Amino acid sequence: MLNDISQSSRLLIPGPVSISDTVRQFMLEDHSAGEPGMIAALREARNYLVELGNARGWGTAIPLPGSATYANEAVIRTFIPREGKLLVHTNGAYGDWLVTMCRRMDTPHVVISTPPTRPPLASEFCEALAFNSDITHVMMVHVETSSGLANPIGMVADLCDAQGKELLVDAVASFGALPIDMKELGIQALVISSNKCIEGPPGLAWVICDRAALERCAGNAKSLSLDLWDQHQTVDGTGCFRFTPPTHAIRGAYAALQTHREEGGSAARLRRYHANWRRLVGDMRKLGFETLLADEHAAPIVATFYEPDDEHYDFGRMYHGMAARGFIVVPGRLAVPGTFRIGCMGALTEQSMSSAVRALREVLADMKVRRFAPRGRGCRSESAMAPM
Ligand SMILES: *Cc1c(COP(=O)(O)O)cnc(C)c1O
């Protein structure tokens, strides 16, 4: 399906991701939001997202201009009533952003912080819920992009169901590849992006939510532009936005969702990302690199590696060396110091990953890095010369 991956597919980062030529082409026209074609495209995109989340019949998809952080903030503003209280889980940079938002907005909240290298335990959530009986909502990140850790939303959904709490999920890095059944999990609102696993352009976020729950949120938001209830009223009623819509990003998202369907939906995309991840991690391990996470906890969207224990290693030089060879690796935003990340989501294939690791090997050879294993591990210097 991805026969149109262009030579410019070079972003090895979890956002913005490389997009296909088909998606790029579809954005090369100017349109007004009120044209019938634009209204139809937005309607189809919303319907497809609701279908992907298994929220048909009771769910609705709300587009919101901005990156996904805007939608996370809009969800907290819109869904937490004034008398509500949020339990926020974090085990990485994106969970930390949710906590920062609550602080900035003065949202009554409690934080549960767990280590970045393993999934949180049910007992950790139970303890926080037991100590704070006034909690009404729980919010967590599904795939924590700063490490690649897949958090157990099913386990937390069961707890929320048993204890009568509403669940809000940041699925920005997982939706469109990892399966998320909103109906089965009883998720009230799910935050996603047009970018990331959907492989559209950045600049447009979405919230899929329970329509009836949203109706009860009128007046909660204390914000005009981030009021999801208000945005939904207009989008659902007229097919237009309240304010100037990002028309090119809407067309890009529409084309990306068409491509997603044609590729075979989320299952096919997950297969491709798994293949990318296996190739990346496999080739890197052959060189001597080690991953931060045990494989069973890792989501195939990004891989985190320990930095090599070699005096010649320097992330900045590696970054620029890779950029000179046409690949952009992730600059920073880490869950654990002394690590670096390479993304494998976006319009990329196994071949892209092999080319990237070959380039990395050249860059490290130029830097005279010989020891790729992390500090404290056995000497693997010979692996720098091993055939791949
Ligand atoms: C990318 C991402 C976001 C949103 O980040 P933006 O910089 O606003 O695009 C939020 N949560 C997760 C898990 C992400 O991967």
**3-state helix/strand/coil string of the chain:** CCCCCCCCCCECCCCCCCCCHHHHHHCCCCCCCCCHHHHHHHHHHHHHHHHHCCCCCCEEEEEEECCHHHHHHHHHHHHCCCCCCEEEEECCHHHHHHHHHHHHHCCCEEEEECCCCCCCCHHHHHHHHHHCCCCCEEEEECEECCCCEECCHHHHHHHHHHHCCEEEEECCCCECCECCCHHHHCEEEEEEECCHHHCCCCCEEEEEEEHHHHHCCCCCCCCCCCCHHHHHHHHHHHCCCCCCCCHHHHHHHHHHHHHHHHHCHHHHHHHHHHHHHHHHHHHHHHHCCCECCCHHHECECEEEEECCCCCCCCHHHHHHHHHHCCCECCCCCCCCCCEEEEECCCCCCHHHHHHHHHHHHHHHHHCCCCCCCCCCCCCCHHHHHCCC
Rg (CA), the chain: 21
Return the half-sphere exposure (C-beta side, CA atoms, 13 A cut-off) of residue 170: 30
Choose which residue among 97, 172, 178, 344 to substitute to test ligand 1 binding: the one with the highest number of ligand atoms within 8 A of its C-beta.
172
Distance, in Å, from the CA atom of 303 to the CA atom of 12, rounded to the nearest integer, reads 10
CB contact set of 73 (below 8 Å; sequence gap of 6+): 101, 105, 226
Q: Where are the domains of the chain?
A: 21-263, 265-366
Spacing, Cα 50 to ligand 1 middle (Å): 20
| Residue 156 Cα to chain centre, angstroms | 19
The finding on whether 9 has its CB within 6 A of some atom of ligand 1 is no
Q: What is the model's pLDDT at position 330?
A: 84
The finding on whether 68 has its CB within 6 A of some atom of ligand 1 is yes
At the top level of CATH, the class of 265-366 is alpha beta
Q: What is the model's pLDDT at position 380?
A: 44
Q: What is the model's pLDDT at position 160?
A: 98
Q: What is the model's pLDDT at position 378?
A: 53
Contact indicator for 114, 156 with CB cutoff of 8 Å: no
The finding on whether 69 has its CB within 6 A of some atom of ligand 1 is yes
Distance, in Å, from the CA atom of 39 to the CA atom of 26, rounded to the nearest integer, reads 16
The finding on whether 346 has its CB within 6 A of some atom of ligand 1 is no
Nearest-CA residue for ligand 1 atom 2 is 172
Work out which ligand 1 atom sits closest to the CA atom of 142: 13
Instruction: Give the closest residue to 182 by CA, choosing from 195, 164, 197, 166.
Output: 166
Q: What is the pLDDT along the chain (388 residues), one digit of tens a residue?
A: 444 444 555 899 988 999 999 999 999 999 998 999 999 999 999 999 999 999 999 999 999 999 999 999 999 999 999 999 999 999 999 999 999 999 999 999 999 999 999 999 999 999 999 999 999 999 999 999 999 999 999 999 999 999 999 999 999 999 999 999 999 999 999 999 999 999 999 999 999 999 999 999 999 999 999 999 999 999 999 999 999 999 999 999 999 999 999 999 999 999 999 999 999 999 999 999 999 999 999 999 999 999 999 999 999 999 999 999 999 988 777 778 899 999 999 999 999 999 999 999 999 999 999 999 888 775 444 444 343 3
Distance, in Å, from the CA atom of 286 to the CA atom of 79, rounded to the nearest integer, reads 47
What contacts 24+ positions apart, CB below 8 Å, involve 30-39?
30/247, 30/248, 31/247, 31/251, 32/247, 33/240, 33/241, 33/244, 33/245, 33/247, 33/250, 34/240, 38/239, 38/247, 38/250, 38/251, 39/239, 39/240
Spacing, Cα 92 to ligand 1 middle (Å): 12
The finding on whether 67 has its CB within 6 A of some atom of ligand 1 is yes
At the top level of CATH, the class of 21-263 is alpha beta
Choose which residue among 94, 99, 194 to substitute to test ligand 1 binding: the one with the highest number of ligand atoms within 8 A of its C-beta.
94
Spacing, Cα 368 to ligand 1 middle (Å): 35
Contact indicator for 82, 218 with CB cutoff of 8 Å: no
The finding on whether 330 has its CB within 6 A of some atom of ligand 1 is no
